[in-house]
Amino acid sequence: MRRLAAISAAMMLSACTPLMVQQAGAPPMGFQGPRLENDVFVSFDGARLGLTRWDAEGEPRAVVVALHGMNDYANAFHLAAPYWAKNGVTTYAFDQRGFGRSPNRGIWGGDELMVEDLRTITAVVHNQHPGVPLIVAGESMGGAVAIEAFASDRPPAGDRLILMSPAVWGWSNQPLPYKTMLWLAARFTAGKVYEPPRWLTNRVQPTDNHEELRAMGRDPLMVWGARSDTLFGLVAMMERAWQAAGAVKVPVLYIYGANDEIIPKEPAFEAAARLKPTDRSAYYAKGWHLMTRDHQGPVVWEDLLSFIRDPQAPLPSGAPTIPGSPTQPNAAVEAEGSRKVQAGL
């Protein structure tokens, strides 16, 4: 009993130990305000975050602000964005705090700071492209950030939102052993970096595009592994996104792949079920987690381009809606979509 009491006391004390989360900095002397430079997005507090842009051929008919996933960076959109550029869409992708070229790599940026960065860049991009539709596209963790932002009382200056397998695997859906171990690790070994074991990386794949996986593995800007307090922060973010999916204040297109091994079907379907009836969704039989980088990526690029141009336009693939979602069907090409699904598209 004494040993149990000592362990309980230690756990209660450790619960008071703050997890490491980045804080907004003080703007430097002579700060000129948020802006876009050549390969840098200067945010509201003067933080210089990595930026990649793909300019439309000719005057842009739409602009996309793109948010990458966990341990990734702006290069996540290096396949889709050039296709969109050829079709009149300019894409701005930035490295969120703690990732890629941005400062404090490996330290969790925190929901509040990451959401504020999104609000800031959409305001800057909106000012640079007045009158041009602005679409936010979030992949995985980026989707969770975007959900929180657009469900808040201060949504970003975006006209619509694309969610690509958003990270919605929060506390409500995590197995009890997982969340118990993570809770303990985040408090007793907060700074320890955990890398996925080789047996797991061989079994769980984010995409069927192995050439892309090899390129990611060689890329020094990718982050491999994560601190336990970063993982704790991510799961908390995913929980909030899972709960808030139906509160987004702009039209949504939510896409998910049947072969996704990163975000399980149950939380993904539950989040999609919360969408507004006027929202859209698409379910790809050959889709994995990194859907714009899968072998069937061009199919997804074209569907997303259709939504970027017109939120009510039929999706060229005819992909069915996500099971259980209340979203409107892609009626104009429903029959063709059923044929393609049967064929294993």
**pLDDT digit string (tens) for 260-303?**
999 999 999 999 999 999 999 999 999 999 999 999 999 999 99
d(CA 29, CA 90): 32
Q: Residue 96: what are its φ and ψ, rounded to 5°?
A: -65, 160
Task: Return the bridge partners of 227, or none.
Answer: 193
List of residues 6+ apart from 128 with CB closer than 8 A: 36
Q: To which H or E segment does residue 214 belong?
A: helix 210-218
d(CA 145, CA 143): 5
d(CA 126, CA 160): 13
pLDDT at 16: 41
List of residues 6+ apart from 116 with CB closer than 8 A: 24, 43, 44
**pLDDT, tens digit (0-9, with 9 covering 90-100), for 150-199:** 999 999 999 999 999 999 999 999 999 988 999 898 888 888 887 766 65
d(CA 161, CA 244): 14
Specify the pTM: 0.90
Q: Which domains does the chain have, with CATH numbers?
A: 36-274 (3.40.50.1820)
**pLDDT, tens digit (0-9, with 9 covering 90-100), for 30-68:** 899 999 999 999 999 999 999 999 999 999 999 999 999
CB 261 within 8 A of CB 205: yes
List of residues 6+ apart from 102 with CB closer than 8 A: 47, 48, 49, 50, 73, 94, 95, 96
Instruction: Give DSSP secondary structure letters for 35-77.
Output: EE-SSEEE-TTS-EEEEEEE--SSS-SEEEEEE--TT--GGGG
Comparing CA positions, the residue from 133, 124, 78 lying closest to residue 100 is 78
